[in-house]
Structure formats: structure tokens, C-alpha cells
Amino acid sequence: MLIPDMTFVIFSFFHYTICAICGRIKLTGHENVPCGNYEKGGKHRMQKAIDKHVILMMGLLFLLNRSLTYGPVVTFLAALISMELIIYLEKEAVFYGIVAVYVLACFFAPGLIFFLPVHIYEFVYRKKWWGCLSCALFVYRISLFHGAGQILLWIMTVMLAVLLAVRTRQQVQEHAAFLKLRDSSVEEQAKMKQRNKELLEKQDYEIRVATLSERNRIAREIHDNVGHMLSRCILQLGALMMVHKKEETLYAQLSSVNASLNEAMNNIRESVHDLHDESVDLKQAVVEATSQMRQNYELQLVYDMSPQVPRNVKYAMIAIVKEAMANIVKHSNATKVSVMLREHPGFYQLLIEDNGTQIRENKHAGIGLTNMQQRVEALGGNIHFRTDAGFAIIVSIRKEMKECG
């Protein structure tokens, strides 16, 4: 039975549009697909869908000269549905199953052969070249029912399908190579930034160490050379003053020179002490004292101190940290160690904690803990040992008035 031309066109276009929309939903409608997967997979799936729809439209050319009965409509819809199922499901087993059914149906419904290039496209894209051998069989099949013109058009459609499949696959490979190159480039840039950061930190550390070493050397040279020469001059001048004690004019002049030399000696002594103080880096000393702990413990180090820390406070904190680390290794079964040095407006604070369960009571404190207590008390500070949750050493040392100001 014939159906109106417009009804055929509207029905076919309507179903074609619905199926195309379903295919597009498959490609872009998943909100939970990671962005990387969509970028690597969604674009080439869309390109494949476009290629297949172009090939499908080529197959419609074979139906132009045929009677507009339900047969061509069903043929077109069967080809369209099989194509959309392959696009939607994207499973190799489904693809082979649908193609096998479709090929068998071609023997009973020759019109399906016109749309076979859609599936040949998929064979070429998947590099399953053996699937293309079916072309020769169906060329013979077409020749039984159609003329040379339609055979040539069908062969051209197959060639178009092959070209589109090869082109799209090449684009996918190039895009994948580009993404891989981009990802590796980003990764290399991140590694390069990290290496540059580590290099700069190492250079800063080396410069700091060299500066401190040079200051220490200068202080030692001044102390050993200039300091000794001034001391000898002061002793010799003192001897002269004893010899010429009765000569008031000369004695007064020698006393003035002696006062100047003593003032110079005091200034040099203060300068040497200042240089030596600056050569002691509290942060670096604490880092070195705790560096070995990272091998066997989960170490957390927090340092929040200004560079202007008095020398005696530096030495006390360094000694306490070293002694505490030694005690943890010898007497504790801890797995986590925390060291915090923090400067407050009115005092310095040192907190050392571990999560060990082997706790030594204060009355049995060893020599190390006693030495810690003596050091802190000598600076006018307070020290407490806490044993309620692991073992903790809490030190607070008040700042001098000039430091607070």
C-alpha cells in the first residue's frame, strides 16, 4: 500500500531526529562523567555519529526512485535503529551481535544492503578489516536486483565510509597524542617548578651557611689576633703605669691611654660576641637536631621565632631539643613527635610532645631532664613535664624588658 510522500518524509525525519537526539544524549548528557573522560571520548564519539549520519543519508539516495511503500520506511528505520544502538551502547559484543543480525537480514530484505556502509565504517574504525570482505559478497547481491549505476553509487558510499573512518580515527589518535603531550608537559612543568624551588632553597641555605661560617671565622680571627694584641698592650701599659706611678703627668697620660685601650677591648669583645651570636642559626640547629627523627617517627616541626633571639636562649633551646630527641629514642615507644618553637610578645615558648605510652614519672627524672630544668631556671623561665597524654615538655622563658619594648 502506498503512503503519501509528505507523510513518509515527516515520519522518517521525525524518527531520525528522535534517534539522533538520543545519540547526542548519550554523548553529552552524562553529568557525572569526569571532564578528562569527556574530553578524550566525547568529541570523537560525536564525530563518529556525524560521519555515520552522513553515510546513512547517502543510503537514502537509493530509495528515491523506489515506490514509497512501508518497505523502504521500515528498511531505513531498521538501519537507523541499529546504528543508534551501536552508538548508544558502545560495547563490542553488542556491535558484533547487531551487525550479525543486520547482515542476515540483508539476505531477506535487500534494501538493508544500501545502509550497510554505516556498519562497514565501524569495522574500519575498529581496524577489523575482515568485516570489509562482506562488501564483495553484497556487490554481487546488489547486481542481481539493480543496475550498474546503483552498484557504482553503493561502492562510492563504501569508499566514503572507509575514508571517513580512517580520517576520524587519525583525528582521534592525534587528539590523544596531543592530550598526552599536554599532560606530560604540565607534569614536567610542575616537576621543573618543584626542582627550581628546591634549588633556590638549597642555594639560600648554602648562602646562609657560608655567611654564618664567615661571621664565625671573622669573630674567631678578631678574638685570637686583635684581642690578644690589645690584651698584651693593656698588660704592658699597666706595667709602665706601675713604674711611673710617681710621675703624675706621665701617669695621667698613661691612664688615659689605658682607659682607651680598655674601651676598645670591650667594644671588640662585644662585636665578637655579636658576630658569634649571629653565626648560631636556631632554626637550622633545631632542624638538624630533629632530622634523624624523620626516619622512624612522624615528625611535625613548627618554627615561629624572630631572628633576634638572645644567645643564651638559643643555646638552652637547642640543648633541650637535642636531649629530648635522645630521650625519645632511648626511653619511649612513640610513633609521633611534635616540636614547636614560638615567640610571643612577652616570652619564648618551646613545646615537645610525643604519643608514647612508656612514661617516666617526674620523681624518677634522669640527668637529662634535670639538666633541662636547670638551664631553664637559670634563664628565669619555667619548665613543666606532662604525662597525661603521651610525654610533653613545656618551656616558657620570659623576655627581658628591652626585648619586650
Q: What is the mean pLDDT of residues 372-391?
A: 88
Please say if the pLDDT value at position 325 is more than 60.
yes
Across 59-73, 99-113, 166-180, which has the greatest mean pLDDT? 166-180
- pTM of the prediction? 0.42
- Contact in structure between 112 and 105 (CB atoms under 8 Å): yes
- Contact in structure between 76 and 12 (CB atoms under 8 Å): yes
In angstroms, rounded to a whole number, what is the distance separating the alpha carbons of residues 393 and 320? 9
Please say if the pLDDT value at position 216 is more than 50.
yes
The highest-level CATH class for domain 282-404 is alpha beta
In angstroms, rounded to a whole number, what is the distance separating the alpha carbons of residues 24 and 31? 13
Please say if the pLDDT value at position 167 is more than 80.
yes
Going 202 to 208 to 211 to 215, the CA torsion angle's sign is negative
Radius of gyration of the chain (CA): 45
| pLDDT the model gives residue 177 | 86
Q: What is the mean pLDDT of residues 140-163?
A: 72
Mean of the per-residue pLDDT values for the chain? Answer: 75
Please say if the pLDDT value at position 159 is more than 90.
no
Lowest mean pLDDT among 127-136, 253-262, 292-301: 127-136
> What is the distance of C-alpha 29 from the center of its chain?
31
What percentage of the chain exceeds 70 in pLDDT?
72
| pLDDT the model gives residue 61 | 75
Q: Which amino acid is at 257?
A: V
- Contact in structure between 311 and 273 (CB atoms under 8 Å): yes
Residue 398: strand pairing partners: 347
The pLDDT confidence band at residue 168, using thresholds 50, 70 and 90, is: confident
| pLDDT the model gives residue 133 | 67
